[in-house]
Amino acid sequence: MKRRLVAALACRNQGSRLYGKPMQNLDVSTGIKIIDNIVDCLQSIDVVDEVVLGISEGVENEIFKQIAEEKNIRYIVGDEGDVLSRLIQCGQLAEATDVFRTTSESPFLYYEAVNDLWSQHISEVADATFMEDIVDGCGFEIITLDALEKSHTHGESKHRSELCTLYIRENVSDFKVIKARPPQVLIRKDLRLTVDNPEDLVVCRAVYEKFKASAPRMSVLEIVKFLDKNQKLIELTAPFAVEGYSTMYL
């Protein structure tokens, strides 16, 4: 059977620290939003067959239907708290064998590693392949639809939350798991490239402004070099980095 990799993006506008994170502008002058850069980047990756939005129920999330229609991509609407079920529904809608997972508030994906890890995922018959220890917001996960369905069936409510692969991580002996690591230079636990706070947004806007000529495929290595030359940007998000990394894989 031919494998089919579908990127599922769980979308919602609620947020205790920053409302409407995926809809925030990366480029205020052009109206390019975080979710725009994510979807456009995913669509540029050869091995990603389709992008599907997993939209949370609620009138405040209706805007994501418009985004999907503008980009001519499919979507499902599902339970806000059961994020795992939304990823599964995305996969089922697109007849996926495997689901590519990244978050809808992280605009700068480490796209360079996707093709090789997809090949490794297939050749080693993995249930889950995780890109770990990279700059917060740049990682991704590839999980078979079957493994996600097993997680939902056997897991508890905490496993169905935004911690969608927690069941697999807690029961790793029941699954074939690949944990990949990026080059050492990209293991930087003092940096954040995900938007959860207003300060994160300031940093990501500065990064986008610097590299927008190459959008949506922006090199994480070049971003790291840029941030190292702009310590004030690193200092902006430093208070959130420790907590972010401490809970990343819980």
* pLDDT score at 20: 81
Number of helices (H) and strands (E) in the chain: give both, helices first. Answer: 9, 9
pLDDT of residue 245: 60
- Tokens 């979308």, residue located: 11
**The predicted structure's pLDDT at residue 242:** 76
What domains can you pick out in the chain, each with its CATH number?
5-246 (3.90.550.10)
Q: What is the pLDDT along the chain (250 residues), one digit of tens a residue?
A: 799 999 999 999 875 557 789 999 999 999 999 999 999 999 999 999 999 999 999 999 999 999 999 999 999 999 999 999 999 999 999 999 999 999 999 999 999 999 999 999 999 999 999 999 999 999 999 999 999 999 999 999 999 999 999 999 999 999 999 999 999 999 999 999 999 999 999 999 999 999 999 999 999 999 999 999 999 999 999 999 877 565 554 4
Q: According to the model, what pLDDT value does residue 1 have?
A: 76
DSSP 136: B
- List CB contacts of 9: < 8 A, sequence separation 6 or more: 35, 38, 39, 42, 51, 52, 53, 54, 90, 102, 103, 104
Residue 248: per-residue pLDDT: 53
Rounded CA-CA distance 53/212 in Å is 24
